[in-house]
Amino acid sequence: MSLTETEIKESIIDTYTKVASNGRLVAERFYSPEELQGLPTSAVELALGVGNPVRHAGLRPGEVALDLGSGAGIDTLQAARKVGPSGKAIGLDMTPEMIRRARANAQAMGLANVEILEGPMEAMPIPDASVDAIISNGVINLTMRKSQVFREIHRVLKPGGRFCVADMLINGELPDEVLNHPTAWTG
Ligand SMILES: C[S@@+](CC[C@H](N)C(=O)[O-])C[C@H]1O[C@@H](n2cnc3c(N)ncnc32)[C@H](O)[C@@H]1O
């Protein structure tokens, strides 16, 4: 029997509510010491991504950046530093516990230009044509509705806006026992 979208989402929220610190393993793999400097330990130790999209997004002061599936905020916080006080970094996540962590981390850094929103990336609570650059790190692989996410990305980006993603791809078909295993979906 196939997993439903609701079952997969519940499983993802459950997993990311309970996820524990991995130490600095991911952060030290993908970020330089300079990039990690000044970030709260709780953001660094909960880095769960697969790359460093902020490094390649070309963010400029004054821009609005959106981080899809922001987790504890490691990329949102770095984006906030790059767009500066005249810009804004928005983190979007559907797991309330991750929202709480990201907000606490932004507050610990004293960043007033960070907004953490709760919601699904398949139906973003964000106005049309309002974002200069979207980043995302290890998140789009988790949705069954990837085309819908790309439609939403197109909707919220301003004309000429950029999208810089780090994620996992499969190179071939997955067997049903993997496709229908909740742990395989939650990463
Ligand atoms: C692998 S973690 C990556 C977190 C963060 N990007 C990082 O690099 O540390 C995946 C995050 O995406 C969120 N997420 C998964 N599916 C989502 C969806 N459909 N809409 C919004 N957030 C989602 C999870 O709650 C989790 O915080």
Contacts 24+ apart (CB under 8 A), 17-26: 17/95, 17/96, 17/97, 17/98, 19/46, 19/48, 21/45, 21/46, 22/46, 22/47, 22/48
Burial of 92 (0-12, 13-18, 19+ CB in 10 A): buried
> What's the pLDDT score for residue 52?
98
The preferred substitution site among 11, 77, 139 for testing ligand 1, maximizing ligand atoms within 8 Å of CB, is: 139
Q: Name the residue of 11, 22, 93 whose CB sits within 8 Å of the most ligand 1 atoms, as the mutation to test its pocket.
A: 93
Question: Ligand 1 centre from 102 Cα, in Å?
Answer: 12
The gap from C-alpha 170 to its chain's centroid, in whole angstroms, comes to 20
Q: Which residues does the chain have with pLDDT short of 50? A: none
Domain ranges of the chain: 5-170
Q: Which fold has domain 5-170?
A: Rossmann fold (3.40.50)
pTM to 2 decimal places: 0.96
pLDDT at residue 3, as a whole number: 86
Please report the atom of ligand 1 found closest to the CA of residue 122: 19
pLDDT computed for residue 186 by the predictor: 82
Q: How far is the CA of 71 from the centre of ligand 1 (A)?
A: 5
